[in-house]
Structure formats: C-alpha cells, structure tokens
C-alpha cells in the first residue's frame, strides 16, 4: 500500500477535511508511486491560518538570535541528511542527483545565513532635529506569511522564503507544489525536529486553485511570497490587493546568453549546455535564448549541436545521466507544442525536437535536448517562456544589436555575456535590463547570500536571497524619545 501523507497544522499531522488524496509519482518512472497526499480545502487553510495567527503572539517575542539558533539546527540536520534528501528529491521531481544535492546545499547555506541574520536585524538611528530628543528605528515582524512555492527547486526555494520569514518573527502557512509534496514534508519534519514551536510552521497540501486561492484571499494572511508563472503572479497580485497585503512575486524568465567573437568558446560551450539543459531547462533562470556574434555563429552552433546530441537523457538517479525528465506529462506536451510553433514560425530545428517514449524512456516524461537556429527576435519561441530543454539561437552583428535583442522580452531575470573585452562586459552590465547579469558564466547558479530576482514581468520589485529578503519580511517602526521635559512641536518649533 502506498504511504499516505498528511497536512501539518498547529503542531499536529492531520488529514484533510475532504478526506481525499492525490498520487505523487516519479516523473522518470510513472509506475513508481511515492505516496498519496491530501487534497486540502479552504477549511484546512483556515485552520492553518488560525494556528499561525495564534502562534504569532508568542513567536514574535522570542529573541531573534534564539529563532536563529533553531535554523542553525535545521542547517545541521540538512547537512547530515543531504544525500538521503537529494535522492528522495530526484525520485520526486526528476533532476539529476548532482543537481538535487545542490538544491539541498542551497537550503543548508540559506539556513546558516538566516541563523546569522538573527543577530543582524539592524535598525537605523539618526540625530533628531530638536534638542534632548532621540530618533530610533526597528525592524518588526509583519505577521502570518503565506508561502507558495514551485516544484523545480523543492528544497531551496521554500527555504529562501520560510527561513527569513521565521527568523524575522513571522509565522508561516506553507503550500508547496503538488508535484513535490514529499520534499516539502521532509523540510517541515526537519523544522519540527529542530524545535520550531507548534503553530509557527503549518503545511497544507493541495492545488493552487483551492489552497493557494484560500491563502491569498484570507484577510488574516499578512504577506504572500510566491514563485511561479507570471500569469499566476498577476492573479495573486490582483486578489491580494483587495486586502492590501504585502506580496513578493518571483516570476518567469526568458534568459539569454550573449557570446561575442572574442569569447573563450570552450568555456562558453560548457556554460550554454549547463544553462540550457540543466534541470531539463526547468528553471526560471534557464538559458532559453543564445545570442551569437555572426563571426562565431556557425562554428559555435556546430560545437553545441555535437555536444547536445551526446547528452544522456534518463533517470536522474543513474550517475551517467546528464538530463532528467520533464516534471509531468502536461509540461512535456507544452514543450512539444512550442517545438511545433518554432517549426511553423520558420526556425530551423538542428537538434532534438521529439518526445522520448521507447525503451528506458517509456515510463517517464522525457524530451530530447532541442536547439533551433534561424530564430528571429519576434518569434514566439524567442519571446515566451517554455520551461523545457529548448534553446533558440539568434545571430547578431555586434554588441549593440545583441543587447537590443537581449532586452526584447517582457521578462528580465537573468542574463549572461561571454567576452574577454572588459569594456564590452561593463557596457552589458550597464545596459542589459535584468536583475542578474553573469560575465563569463551561464545564466544559472545564484548564491544564497546575494539578492535574487528580476525586472519587468519577472517580478514586482522585491528580491529573494541575501540581506534584501529581510526587508520584505519585516516592517519598520520609527521611535521618537523626547527627554526634554517639555512639549516640542517638531517643525513648528524648528522654524
């Protein structure tokens, strides 16, 4: 019998009020049933929110360094169990074991960083304009945080949100993606083991349509942190605005690598392969466009196609595998539909472009690494997020045209340029409209202690990671202390 999992609400593992369950299967082997998870209802969400709201009153009074000590223990447990968690994650969402190890490591790094931030939630003090008066400011927790996360980084992204929320003194209602509920359960189990009090973290499994909407619409949720598609992010923003709750959105991308004619082509080749086909292209920072200087276009495409066709697609637990499956059948169909769109638009398919359905691929949602050339900036495959192993190659004559093509998208998350010309590198850094720019590196590979996020329709101005995320999970309180012994009327007395 498959294992049946539960929600975690107010310090207890409980069934959904609906009594219904859904299956979670290995995308590399659809006969491998990982478990059955709750189809939760709005009633379950309400119970979780009530628990978090009640727990907030005591959790906010725990000193921030003490809250940080719990997250330090979480980091220790993640370190101890890294290999086990990585293997579970590969089985659940498909990416190769080296990548899931990195996913867990990101959680470890975030835990230790958050633990140290418990001692660095600095306020700012400034001199008063009046005598015998002091001006102070403090960071205060906001309240109950609704955390809604995707399936492609089922450990790293939840930790990016939950750990800062907790160390700042907020409580959390956590809705993970329906494709990766097991990893979310593991994370919550570790938080419990590390000593998180009852009600401070609450886990509610289920669909975005039911559970996600209930979280977003609740007047008792004070802030929302969401990672996912731009379309869903816009919907969340609209619904959350009705209760004026704070919202952080990390959304889509259509990231490009620019390769100039003076670049180290061997280095660039490794970066493009990793950026385009790592995680089967299922990253918001994945390299979806390749902008090549005309002088090196033909030779680089030849090198790239030769390498891409040799990538081993298979089960991520196999150490010889280079690229795993798409997350599910529906996502593979989306990828295949965009390949058809590219062909209809007149792009040239030079690699891949097909579902892998026979032999060792017959039980999973595999797709071949795919490359298009003769792509123009206005084609849909050059403008729309595909979220799969599809790379569109665009030829340009110089850096100015490359930057223009790079910016010709509604997104602005990650970007990259390969060049040995320092002037071109700094011009790209200045002129590319993106939240992240790599020089001589791929578009993927963010570090936990640096801000992460984008511009335009990639988000709404907030950042994950680093010190900046703590601004989102706190609000400022300004304090004036007047010890003059008389009424001072600020600007009136200061004329």
pLDDT-derived band of residue 104, with 50, 70 and 90 as boundaries? very high
User: Would you say how long the chain is, in residues?
Assistant: 495
Cite the DSSP H helix spans in 195-294: 213-217, 230-240, 265-277
Please, which residues have CB within 8 angstroms of residue 123's CB and are 6 or more apart in sequence? 136, 137, 138, 139, 476
pLDDT-derived band of residue 316, with 50, 70 and 90 as boundaries? very high
pLDDT reported for residue 212: 98
CA 140 to chain centre: 25
Q: Which of 299, 291, 273 is nearest to 415 (CA)?
A: 291
Provide the token pair at 423.
């002037």
What distance in Å separates the CA atoms of residue 455 and residue 134, rounded to the nearest whole number? 38
pLDDT reported for residue 265: 98
**Each residue's pLDDT tens digit, 374-401:** 999 999 999 999 999 999 999 999 999 9
User: Sign of torsion, CA 233 236 242 243?
Assistant: negative
Q: What is the mean pLDDT of the chain?
A: 97
Give the chain's radius of gyration (CA, Å): 24
CA 112 to chain centre: 19
Measured from the Cβ of residue 367, the count of other Cβ atoms closer than 10 Å reads: 27
Interhelix angle 181-194/64-80, rounded to 10 degrees, is: 120
Given a contact cutoff of 8 angstroms between Cβ atoms, the answer to whether 104 and 84 are in contact is: no
pLDDT-derived band of residue 337, with 50, 70 and 90 as boundaries? very high
Please, which residues have CB within 8 angstroms of residue 28's CB and are 6 or more apart in sequence? 91, 94, 314, 315, 316, 317, 324, 325, 363, 364, 365, 366
What distance in Å separates the CA atoms of residue 339 and residue 365, rounded to the nearest whole number? 16
Provide the token pair at 115.
């633990």
The one catalytic residue among 250, 351, 385, 464:
250
pLDDT-derived band of residue 491, with 50, 70 and 90 as boundaries? confident
**Each residue's pLDDT tens digit, 419-449:** 999 999 999 999 999 999 999 999 999 999 9
Given a contact cutoff of 8 angstroms between Cβ atoms, the answer to whether 73 and 195 are in contact is: yes
pLDDT reported for residue 1: 82
Per-residue pLDDT at 493 exceeds 80: no
Provide the token pair at 121.
């939630």
What distance in Å separates the CA atoms of residue 219 and residue 52, rounded to the nearest whole number? 13
Q: Note if 250 is an active site residue.
A: yes
What distance in Å separates the CA atoms of residue 193 and residue 73, rounded to the nearest whole number? 9
**Each residue's pLDDT tens digit, 133-181:** 999 999 999 999 999 999 999 999 999 999 999 999 999 999 999 999 9
3-state class (DSSP) for residue 435: coil
CA atoms within 13 A on the CB side of 58: 9
pLDDT reported for residue 311: 98
Calculate mean pLDDT across residues 324-330: 98
Measured from the Cβ of residue 404, the count of other Cβ atoms closer than 10 Å reads: 14
pLDDT reported for residue 292: 98
Phi, psi of 65, deg, nearest 5: -60, -35
Structural domains in the chain?
A: 7-251+459-478 (3.40.605.10), 255-439 (3.40.309.10)
What distance in Å separates the CA atoms of residue 39 and residue 5, rounded to the nearest whole number? 11
Which residue's structure tokens are 């001589």?
A: 440
Reported as type and span, the H/E element at residue 243 is none
Per-residue pLDDT at 492 exceeds 90: no
What distance in Å separates the CA atoms of residue 211 and residue 144, rounded to the nearest whole number? 16
Per-residue pLDDT at 195 exceeds 80: yes
Q: Note if 464 is an active site residue.
A: no
The one catalytic residue among 88, 106, 117, 284:
284
Between the alpha carbon of residue 132 and those of residues 113, 203, 388, 484, 494, the distances in Å are 38, 50, 63, 5, 13
Given a contact cutoff of 8 angstroms between Cβ atoms, the answer to whether 473 and 146 are in contact is: no
**Each residue's pLDDT tens digit, 41-67:** 999 999 999 999 999 999 999 999 999
pLDDT reported for residue 162: 98
Between the alpha carbon of residue 483 and those of residues 128, 307, 364, 478, the distances in Å are 12, 73, 71, 16
| Residues 440, 446, 448: CA angle, nearest 5 degrees | 140
pLDDT-derived band of residue 490, with 50, 70 and 90 as boundaries? confident
What distance in Å separates the CA atoms of residue 323 and residue 470, rounded to the nearest whole number? 35
Cite the DSSP H helix spans in 278-328: 297-308
Per-residue pLDDT at 494 exceeds 80: no
Q: pTM of this prediction?
A: 0.97
């Amino acid at each position: 019998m498959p294992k049946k999992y539960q929600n975690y609400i107010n310090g207890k593992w409980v069934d959904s009020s609906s009594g219904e369950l859904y299956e979670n299967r290995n995308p590399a082997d659809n006969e491998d049933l990982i478990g059955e998870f709750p189809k939760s209802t709005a009633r379950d969400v309400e119970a979780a929110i009530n628990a978090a709201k009640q727990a907030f009153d005591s959790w906010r009074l725990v000193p921030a360094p003490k809250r940080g000590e719990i997250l330090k223990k979480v980091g220790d447990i993640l370190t101890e169990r890294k290999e086990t968690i990585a293997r579970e994650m590969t089985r659940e969402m498909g990416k190769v074991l080296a990548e899931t190890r990195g996913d867990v490591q990101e959680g470890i790094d975030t835990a230790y960083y958050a633990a140290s931030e418990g001692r660095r939630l600095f306020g700012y003090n400034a001199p008063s304009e009046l005598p015998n008066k002091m001006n102070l400011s403090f960071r205060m927790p906001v309240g109950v945080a609704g955390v809604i996360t995707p399936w492609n980084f089922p450990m790293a992204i939840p930790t990016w949100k939950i750990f800062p929320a907790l160390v700042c003194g907020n409580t959390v209602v956590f809705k993970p993606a329906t494709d990766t509920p097991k990893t979310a359960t593991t994370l919550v189990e570790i938080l419990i083991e590390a000593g998180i009090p009852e009600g401070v973290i609450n886990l509610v499994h289920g669909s975005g349509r039911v559970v996600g909407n209930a979280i977003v619409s609740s007047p008792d949720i004070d802030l929302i942190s969401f990672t996912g598609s731009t379309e869903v992010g816009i919907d969340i923003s609209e619904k959350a605005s009705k209760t004026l709750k704070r919202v952080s959105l990390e959304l889509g991308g259509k990231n490009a690598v620019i390769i100039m004619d003076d670049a180290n082509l061997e280095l660039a080749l490794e970066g493009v392969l990793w950026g385009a086909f790592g995680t089967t292209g299922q990253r918001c920072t994945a390299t979806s466009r390749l902008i090549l200087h005309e002088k090196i276009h033909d030779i680089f495409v030849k090198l790239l196609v030769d390498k891409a066709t040799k990538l081993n697609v298979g089960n991520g637990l196999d150490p010889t595998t280079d690229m795993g499956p798409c997350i599910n059948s529906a996502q593979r169909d989306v990828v295949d539909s965009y390949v058809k769109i590219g062909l209809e638009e007149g792009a040239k398919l030079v690699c891949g472009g097909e579902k892998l359905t026979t032999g060792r691929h017959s039980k999973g949602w595999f797709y071949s690494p795919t490359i298009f050339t003769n792509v123009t900036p206005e084609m849909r495959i050059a403008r729309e997020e595909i979220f799969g192993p599809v790379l569109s190659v665009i030829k340009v004559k110089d850096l100015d045209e490359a930057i223009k093509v790079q910016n010709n998208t509604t997104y602005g998350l990650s970007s990259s340029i390969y060049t040995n010309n320092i002037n071109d590198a700094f011009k790209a850094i200045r002129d590319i409209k993106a939240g992240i720019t790599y020089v001589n590196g791929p578009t993927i590979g963010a570090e936990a202690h640096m801000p992460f996020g984008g511009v335009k329709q990639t988000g709404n101005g907030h950042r994950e990671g680093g010190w900046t995320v703590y601004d989102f999970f706190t609000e400022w309180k300004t304090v004036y202390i007047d010890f003059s012994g008389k009424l001072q009327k600020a600007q009136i007395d200061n004329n």
